[in-house]
Amino acid sequence: MSLNYYDLILPVVPKGTFTYTSEHDIPVGSRVKVFFGSRIEHGIVKGKADKIHPDISYKNINEVLDDKPVFPEKYLTMFNKMSNYYQTPLGIAMRGVLAKSILSSERLDVDCDISDKSILLSLSNDQHSVYASLTKIIDSGFSANLLHGITGSGKTEIYIELVKECIKKGKQVIYIVPEISLTPQIVQRLSERLGFSVPVYHSKLSPKRKQKVFWGFNSGCYPLVIGARSALFIPSDNIGLIIVDEEHESSFKQEESPSYQLRDMAVMYADILNVPVVLGSATPSVESYFNALNGKYRYLELNKRFNEKQLPEIKIIDLKTSDIIDNLLSVKLYDKIFEKIKQNEQVLLLLNKKGYSKHLICKKCGTTLQCLNCSIALTYYKKGDYAKCSYCGEIYKFFKCSECGENDFLDFGHGTEKAVEILRELFGDTVIKLDTDSVTSHKKMQSILNDFYSGKYNIMVGTQLIAKGFNFPEVTLVGVLNIDNLLSLPDFRANERAYQLLMQVAGRAGRFIKKGEVFIQTYNPEMPVFQLLNSDSEKFYMEELSRRKEHDYPPFMRMVRIIISDTKEDRAKKTMETISEKINEAKSSETKTLGPSPAPIFKIKNRYRYSFIIKTPNVSRIQVLGRIARENFEVLKKGNMQLKLDVDPYFFM
DNA sequence: CCATGAGCCTTC
DNA sequence: AAGGCTCATGGG
Ligand SMILES: [Zn+2]
Ligand SMILES: [Zn+2]
């Protein structure tokens, strides 16, 4: 028997593929076990090796795990495209997307307990015109569809109809939501409506649970899986529809390599599979809105027929000219809250900062307490009496001023913990807090929401978690305590994020019978975003798009951010300078660059960071310039210096 | 003479 | 990334 050479994708760092030999014929997409260096790794057969070097001694494939391949060819095509577009070697792409516990796991015969008859597939009687126009997309090849509709406009109902239609045609559905662990309601709702227990997939599941869902979906047994980003990467050769809910969520962008944008990957994958993808949001991303405008996506706006209630008018409170209580509440907002409590109605207050205070400032010399590993001010937590760095996670139990050694500090910049303290002094025990610090588990979250829902508390204060679409009929007032920190970020999406957050939180007020009111406190009432909150959303998108165009930002230009980081400051600087010179030499006139410059957060985890940004209208230039960066880095790198190539970046600090 | 540990090199 | 290798350092 002759020897076959196979290229394998292994979940290891150095490069894309490694070549191994086997006497057997192994189909592409099979999982194999091999010796790699001195350890054992599991990988995927990518294909027959195209070149064999005589001076490399190839190892034999140890074991083939599958009798039929787990990863379809189209899946591998998607994988290659991802690796190529995001400038990430296949190995890193693989380790970022497929759990090791899956790669090495025995294929399970999952009994998913679903009989065809028990699935509730009868379509809704509703004559909603969107149903008719949308269900046609199932089984008609690739299409990207943007569903723009506020909460309560029936978005989820449309997803359910599409899922049913797709299952009816014998195909499977992948349904992606951000932060599935925080929104178990949607799973319950889908399960009730479809008549089977819908499996959930995300990276925090136990390996056992993960394997069950993975193999259950892969075998075609589960007709639907709902999950976080990683659910998109469960392979199956029978996928008929991909849904991405809350498509505007910036958490769909993965920060670690491969730093892919899930929504964009979903569209790319659907295109490869030749199936429809549906993106839904009450406040679509500017990118998706633009794609809808230029015809790349089909645009479907859900008119507010489903609930006649209009959004309440959003009013701005200028903090510069207001009397302010405890540096937190304008007298005007205080009066409003007081009035609502007297009528036993409920209030939601948004403050986008966790902990007690944003900064600790030395009373003696005025120095801000900083993390020793990062150039970042420490957040103080009163409960537990410690300071914490939000970038490296380091906790400081005992701290003193780095300049004068004193340990007497003034807290500055309120977080939710302090806000609760102040509000309790003003309004009594009727205040409850909701942020990721108070939510340590599903159960805790559910109990906080239930307590508030049942009326045990009148005021809930929290971070953006409170904007996540929970419905509280008694909420008639929404207050935004401070949005200015979000708007002052050096980030071209700051405006968009603020708009989305404000619209989402405003949507929590007076959703039902009672009339709602929304107040936003700010020191910068003249900022354009505030003028657009009460207009038609179209106006916001058009203005934002023209601003983006004027400043050469996405979606008009592609962006790549290069970060060089190193424990030695001068080495990082020099390397970044050389690489940026090489790129500037090679770039065409339509390509624009920014930097190099020290990153806004100069030091993270003891690594000094230099940043360089490329903007180009031409997608193919990304690959070319990216390769220049990587090749030069390979030559220049010393010690533990790192290069990060972030294609379509969302993080600019 | 060997134990320890910091760089750096290789992984088909 | 991570194990392995090399070479410098240091105590007995
Ligand atoms: Zn001091
Ligand atoms: Zn830190």
pLDDT of A305: 47
**Are the folds of A125-302 and A314-355+414-547 the same?**
yes
Q: What is the mean pLDDT of residues A154-162?
A: 90
CA of A609 to the centre of ligand 2 (A): 14
Instruction: Find the Å distance, CA of residue A67 to C1' of nucleotide C5.
Output: 39
Q: What is the ipTM of this complex?
A: 0.85
How many CA atoms within 13 Å lie on the side-chain side of A99?
Answer: 21
CA distance A379 to A355: 6
Q: Where are the alpha helices (DSSP H) in A398-520?
A: 416-427, 442-453, 484-487, 494-506
The mean of the pLDDT values for chain A is 91
8 Å CB contact between A315 and A278: no
Domain boundary assignment for chain A: 4-73+90-103, 125-302, 314-355+414-547, 558-647
pLDDT of A35: 94
Measured over the CA atoms of residue A66, residue A72, residue A77 and residue A80, the dihedral's sign is negative
CA of A360 to the centre of ligand 1 (A): 10
CA distance A348 to A210: 36
CA of A415 to the centre of ligand 1 (A): 23
The single-letter DSSP state of residue A141 is -
Q: pLDDT by residue (tens digit) across A100-141?
A: 899 999 898 888 777 666 677 766 665 566 777 788 999 999
Ligand 1 (ion): which residues have CB within 5 A? A 362, 364-365, 367, 401, 403-404, 406
Q: Is any atom of nucleic acid chain B found less than 7 Å from the CB of residue A6?
A: no
- In chain A, DSSP finds a helix count (H) and a strand count (E) of 18, 30
8 Å CB contact between A566 and A572: yes
Phi, psi of A311 (to 5 degrees): -65, 145
Instruction: Find the Å distance, CA of residue A208 to C1' of nucleotide C2.
Output: 26
Q: What is the mean pLDDT of residues A278-301?
A: 96
Name the CATH code of domain A4-73+90-103 (choices 3.40.50, 1.10.3470, 3.40.1440, 1.10.10). Answer: 3.40.1440
Q: Is any atom of nucleic acid chain C found less than 7 Å from the CB of residue A39?
A: yes
Fold classified for A314-355+414-547: Rossmann fold (3.40.50)
| Model confidence band, residue A2 (pLDDT cutoffs 50, 70, 90) | confident
Q: Is the pLDDT of residue A424 over 60?
A: yes
pLDDT of A499: 96
* Lookup: nucleotide whose C1' is closest to A14 CA: B11
Q: pLDDT by residue (tens digit) across A185-228?
A: 889 999 999 999 999 999 989 999 999 999 999 999 999 999 99
Q: Is the pLDDT of residue A318 over 80?
A: yes
8 Å CB contact between A509 and A519: no
CA distance A481 to A329: 7
Percentage of the residues of chain A whose pLDDT score is greater than 70: 96
Q: What is the pTM of this model?
A: 0.94
Q: Is the pLDDT of residue A469 over 70?
A: no
Phi, psi of A538 (to 5 degrees): -50, -40
pLDDT of A102: 93
**Residue range A125-302 in CATH 3.30.1360.20:** no
pLDDT of A126: 59
Q: Is the pLDDT of residue A480 over 60?
A: yes
CA of A301 to the centre of ligand 1 (A): 56
Q: What is the mean pLDDT of residues A45-70?
A: 92
Instruction: Please state which CATH number belongs to domain A558-647.
Output: 3.30.70.600
Q: Is any atom of nucleic acid chain C found less than 7 Å from the CB of residue A378?
A: no
According to DSSP, the β-strands at A386-388 and A379-381 are antiparallel
Q: What is the mean pLDDT of residues A542-561?
A: 97
According to DSSP, the β-strands at A607-616 and A592-604 are antiparallel
Q: Is the pLDDT of residue A549 over 50?
A: yes
Which is nearest to A202 in space by CA: A179, A223, A220?
A: A179
Measured over the CA atoms of residue A377, residue A381, residue A385 and residue A388, the dihedral's sign is negative
Q: Is the pLDDT of residue A306 over 60?
A: no
pLDDT of A222: 95
Residue-wise over A556-583: b if at least 16 C-beta within 10 A, else e?
ebbbbbbbbbbeeeebbbbbbebbbebb
